[in-house]
Amino acid sequence: MATSSSAPLRVLTGITPSGTPHLGNYVGSIRHSVRQSVAPGVESFFFLADYHALIKVQEPALIQRSTLEIAASWLACGLDPERVTFYRQSDVVEIPELTWFLTCVTGKGVLNRAHAYKAQLDKNIAKGEDPDADVTAGLFMYPVLMGADILMFNAHKVPVGRDQVQHIEMARDMAQRFNHQYGEHFTLPEAEIDDAVATLPGLDGRKMSKSYGNTIAMFAPRAQLQKQIASIVTDSRAPGEPKDTEGSALFQIYQAFASAEETEALRKAYAEGIGWGDAKQMLFERIDLEVAPLRARYEALMNDPAEIERILLIGAEKARKLARPFMAELRHAVGLRNLAAGAGKGGARKAKVAKPSFKQYRERDGLFYFKLLDAHGTALLQSRGFASPQEAGRAIAALQQQRGAALAELADQLEPAGPEELRAANEALEALAEATAPTNGS
């Protein structure tokens, strides 16, 4: 069908608000994903994984602060909330519901093998403690919550670091199991690991990570940035002695910000024995060149948390416009249904029961319209005007075939509908599909 080949690529990115964003987050995720979000044919979802934060952080003020900081960072780096769907996970109340559906198709054995959980067990065992010491059920269930984040929006691509690849594979597995059991509802997501996106070394040369305490804050004021850069570990070679670029954290960080020519110039300076103090000054100026304009926007945003709150609430509404009807479809699929809507298999007289129907018509404006009517003739959905009857017909066909998923996709071609109306429309589409499906045997 035409819609599937021209459908945008859905890319979904989540960050757990459990700390202050650092240059590793910027180079490894934020910079790349914001750039990608303006590419044609890409539909991006950006969210703050605050439910995930509860697994690691039991300090309420820290979660609130970090959520604000990460939201402000994305916006400062150019994320356009008009263009992408930008939201806070906990505002999309459908996500915990989907988490439960997925929980019920996920093997416990699969979760037993999750790296983050296993690492904790191994640590306990190594210390001679009870393997489950300090392991919450939240840590154990982490991959399922993440699966719900991804599958809720039928993301095709999920850009992640290598440590998260296993989680994407698990989400795929959940989607497959669910689809197998209940019909094709989920797109199978794929991890996107961009090897061009450097893993930034931290101050001590190990991967820059909050857990190593070796980070450079992304939006530290100029003086503090300079101080942090001054503390990058180097060897003890004196000015005038040639230096190795290989294994030099300073060099690698520079490379993540600089052009190829700039990098070559520093390589040459290393060979010619640049002093560490001068090299650090070069690095500082180069980072500051890129970060200074972003820092100014970041500071303005941090001073207006109400504005960020407002943006996130609008984003949540946008996300839920997709999540609500999709969840209604899934509820129906698993059997959480309106009892009066007629049973599926074994509904003996279903063929005689009046069915919902589509009505197509032309208005005096010359455009072509349709309505979805319930069994009693009440309108459940009202289309906008189409230039031709064929276009209206295609939209109807999509609704008949893809039901809830098409409801979300065609949102622009339909008059706005509230959650109750969407739920009723979705049930009508399901009922219609069931009534017109070939009867099995009886």
> How are beta strands 379-382 and 368-373 bridged, if at all?
antiparallel
Segment interacting with ligand TRP (CB under 6 A) among 92-100, 144-152, 218-226, 407-415 = 144-152
DSSP, res 159? E
Site map 12..31 versus ligand TRP, x via CB under 6 A: x-xxx---------------
Segment interacting with ligand TRP (CB under 6 A) among 9-17, 97-105, 208-216, 237-245 = 9-17
- From CA 375, how far away is CA 373, in angstroms rounded? 7
Is the distance from CB of 396 to CB of 371 less than 8 angstroms?
Answer: no
Task: Please state the closest distance from residue 167 (CB atom) to ligand TRP, in A.
Answer: 6
- Cross-sheet strand order for the sheet of 190-192: 85-88, 42-48, 9-15, 157-159, 190-192
Burial of 3 (0-12, 13-18, 19+ CB in 10 A): middle
Is the distance from CB of 408 to CB of 321 less than 8 angstroms?
Answer: yes
Which residue out of 118, 127, 210, 371 is catalytically annotated? 210
- Our answer to whether residue 350 is catalytic in this structure is no
Residues 44 to 83: which contact ligand TRP by CB under 6 A? 49, 52
Phi, psi torsion values for 217, nearest 5 degrees: -60, 145
Q: Is 85 in the site for ligand TRP (CB under 6 A)?
A: no
Q: Is 146 in the site for ligand TRP (CB under 6 A)?
A: yes
- Our answer to whether residue 123 is catalytic in this structure is yes
Q: Which residue of 30, 55, 71, 160 would you call a contact of ligand TRP, by CB under 6 A?
A: 160
Q: Is 149 in the site for ligand TRP (CB under 6 A)?
A: yes
- Our answer to whether residue 207 is catalytic in this structure is yes
For residue 386, give both structure tokens.
């189409």
Diameter over CA atoms, the chain: 92
Q: Is 329 in the site for ligand TRP (CB under 6 A)?
A: no
Which residue out of 56, 207, 355, 371 is catalytically annotated? 207
Q: Is 158 in the site for ligand TRP (CB under 6 A)?
A: yes
Which of 110, 122, 95, 76 shows the shortest CA–CA distance to 14?
95
Q: Is 407 in the site for ligand TRP (CB under 6 A)?
A: no
- From CA 325, how far away is CA 102, in angstroms rounded? 17
Segment interacting with ligand TRP (CB under 6 A) among 11-19, 286-294, 325-333, 401-409 = 11-19
Binding site for ligand TRP (CB under 6 A): 12, 14-16, 49, 52, 146, 149-150, 158, 160, 164
Which positions are catalytic?
A: 123, 207, 210
